[in-house]
Structure 1
Amino acid sequence: MSRIENTLAAIFGGIFIALSGWISIEVLARKLLGVSLQGANELGGYALAVGATLAFTLALFGRNHIRVDVFYERLSAGWQAALNWFSSVLMASLQACWVCSVGAWCATRWTIKALHKRRGQRR
């Protein structure tokens, strides 16, 4: 796993450095030449989204998401297990809330489309 982490860190580190160079060139070109390179903002958003997703996933699998290590490492194995379980339950709850939100959004959208179709047929 650490080999994968190191490879991904190198790849996305390079992507972020290249992106910062691209944004710097774009800002200078816009300010000095009045020309925009178009797309730096969009590419930055994509790079940040993919990089953050991978970073969060690797942190979750590597159990690096606990950043209060000063206190965590001093706890007994039982307390550490309880906190690990609690964090897993919170992550599952967050995922369940997300799934319910997406389901509600889809159901609402489907209902609105059906009502618009029905209203169009009456006229």
Structure 2
Amino acid sequence: MLIALARWLDRVSGTAGAIAAWLVIPLIIASCYEVFSRYVLGQPTLWAYEVGYMVMATHFLIGLAYTLREGEHVRVDIFYRRASRKKQALIDAFTYVVLLLPLSLWLSLGLAEKVAKAYESQERSGMSAFNPVIWPFRAVMGAAFVLLALQGLAELIRCYRVLTDRALPDKNR
């Protein structure tokens, strides 16, 4: 049951990772169009800067869960890689329970409040003449931290399985 949940969460993170990867294309298009418009046409866009930072932040944040799934987040592994698999699972579980899950849930809840307030007031970015409403971007940020928490839960399930001697081979994560 738990491993089925972990695998489903892995698929969700994999889908989020694919979405994050494809977000590079609109980012490149917006950047290239801005350069063309500014230097060839002599008329910079009003929207490219804000679209660029929003797409880049979305790319980065949505990719967090996928990166955790793949075990590619930065870690200080001077001692970690020398530890047994059970000790690694214990370190990981501690990190997920004490840091990752509380922090990602705290950020998600805080962003949910900000989304609601921004939606009610129709708050705008205020960073350019384009000046889009900001709540959809904040909603994506909150969703990204929810995805990170869910992937953290999947990893915690794996740690539990390692600690109880029921781990699957790595290829069957």
What range describes the TM-score normalised by the shorter chain of this pair?
0.5 to 0.7
Alpha carbons of structure 1 residues 66 and 79: separation in structure 2 relative to 1, 3 Å:
farther
Higher RCO, Cα 8 Å, sep 6+: 2
2: CA distance, partners of 1:99 / 1:30: 37
Can you give the 5+ residue segments of structure 1 that lack an aligned partner in the other structure? 107-123
Provide TM-score, normalisation by structure 1. 0.56
Which residue identity is paired with 1:90? L
For residues 68 and 6 of structure 1, do their structure 2 counterparts lie closer, same or farther at Cα, with a shift above 3 Å needed?
Answer: farther
Identity of aligned residues (%): 27
**Matches of 1:26 and 1:66, distance apart in 2:** 33
Distance 1:63 1:48 in 2: 22
1:90 maps to which of 91, 96, 99: 99
Instruction: State whether structure 2 residue 31 is matched by structure 1 residue 23.
Output: yes
1:1-123 correspondence runs (5 A): 1=10, 5=14, 8-9=17-18, 11-65=19-73, 67-68=75-76, 71-88=79-96, 89-95=98-104, 98=107, 102=110
RMSD: 3.7
TM-score by length of 2: 0.43
Shift of 1:57: 1.5
Count of equivalent residues: 103
Extract unaligned runs of 5+ from structure 2.
1-9, 115-173
Kept in 1, the 8 Å contact 2:20–2:60? The answer is no
What secondary structure, in the 3-state scheme, does the structure 1 residue paired with 2:23 have? helix
- Hey, what's the Cα distance between the residues in 2 that align with 1:29 and 1:77? 55
Which of 1 and 2 has greater Rg?
Answer: 1
Runs of 4+ in 1 over 6 A off after TM superposition: none
